[in-house]
Amino acid sequence: MTHSSSPTDGPVALITGGAKRIGASIATLLHQHRYRTLIHCRHSIAEAQALVNHLNQQRPESAALLQADLGRDDAIVPLAEQALAAFGQLDALINNASAFYPTPIGTATPTQWDELMNSNAKAPFFLSQALAPELARRHGVIINIADIHASKPLKAHTLYCMAKAANLMLTQSLALELAPEVRVNGIAPGAILWPDDPASEMDPDSKQALLNRVPLKRLGDPDHIARSALFLLQNDYLSGQIIAVDGGRLIQ
């Protein structure tokens, strides 16, 4: 498929949590491949706006910012409506936004349960549900960013791992229910970026110990996830798959 240089041409992708880290890498790569990009954020408005400005400098009117707290039930449908209104269509939904932090047994709270389940399972489901009619009309694609720890537990992260396990089943179940009009796949990152929040900070020895368990013996890069997302968008005979991008970690 070829596209003209018109900013009003080309498919449209919504990337939740698209302001930085993996989300920003996905948004940037898709934009380079003629996608118009909707950058969703919750708190990272400055980073999201900077990315939108950068993309629009490259191609005018090709990126827009959407702000919403996915933990709020009343935010999902308005976000979907704003996404559709931005460019008049939607071709891809990338459910990337995610909370991640440890919840050791004995310390976990209902609030942490809600935050981890909402961002990793509940919001992706209800956003997918809200956008399913448009994605079906456009023969679109949903990509859920899962985690290798959906199937390989991470110590002291039970709630997160449970939520990502739900995300994995969400991908497979939606792939069945939304076929044949909509394809649904997932990407399960391994060690791509070190956590950026203090609660999950790792010391150098812990980082090295983790990398020693990765057959490729090195940290990945957000671009590895972005390129996998582009592959899933372009290969129109893939659905219901979870691609582990983990340097071989799952086979250990």
Cα gap 162→230, rounded to integer Å: 27
Share of the chain above pLDDT 70, in %: 97
- Answer yes or no: is pLDDT of 3 > 70: no
pTM assigned to the model: 0.95
Give the model's confidence band at 5: pLDDT under 50 very low, under 70 low, under 90 confident, else very high.
very low
Query: Structural domain boundaries of the chain?
Result: 12-246
Cα gap 128→144, rounded to integer Å: 10
pLDDT in tens, 67-124: 999 999 999 999 999 999 999 999 999 999 999 999 999 999 999 999 999 999 999 9
pLDDT in tens, 37-71: 999 999 999 999 999 999 999 999 999 999 999 99
- Answer yes or no: is pLDDT of 21 > 90: yes
Average pLDDT value for residue range 115-141: 98
Out of 35, 101, 160, 237, which one is annotated catalytic? 160
pLDDT in tens, 218-250: 999 999 999 999 999 999 999 999 999 999 999
Query: Which is higher by pLDDT, 169 or 202?
Result: 169
Fold (topology level) of 12-246 = Rossmann fold (3.40.50)
- Answer yes or no: is pLDDT of 198 > 80: no
- Answer yes or no: is pLDDT of 26 > 90: yes
Average pLDDT value for residue range 150-169: 97
Question: DSSP of the chain, one letter per residue?
Answer: ----S-TT-S-EEEETT-SSHHHHHHHHHHHHTT-EEEEEESS-HHHHHHHHHHHHHHSTT-EEEEE--TTSGGGHHHHHHHHHHHHS---EEEE---------TTT--HHHHHHHHIIIIIHHHHHHHHHHHHHHHTT-EEEEE--GGGTS--TT-HHHHHHHHHHHHHHHHHHHHHTTT-EEEEEEE-S-S---SGGG---HHHHHHHHHTSTT-S---HHHHHHHHHHHHH-TT--S-EEEESTTGGG-
Q: Is 160 a catalytic residue?
A: yes
Average pLDDT value for residue range 200-214: 87
Cα gap 42→34, rounded to integer Å: 25
Q: Provide the pLDDT for residue 4.
A: 42
Q: Provide the pLDDT for residue 201.
A: 78
- Answer yes or no: is pLDDT of 6 > 80: no
Q: What does the mean pLDDT of the chain come to?
A: 95
Q: Provide the pLDDT for residue 2.
A: 40
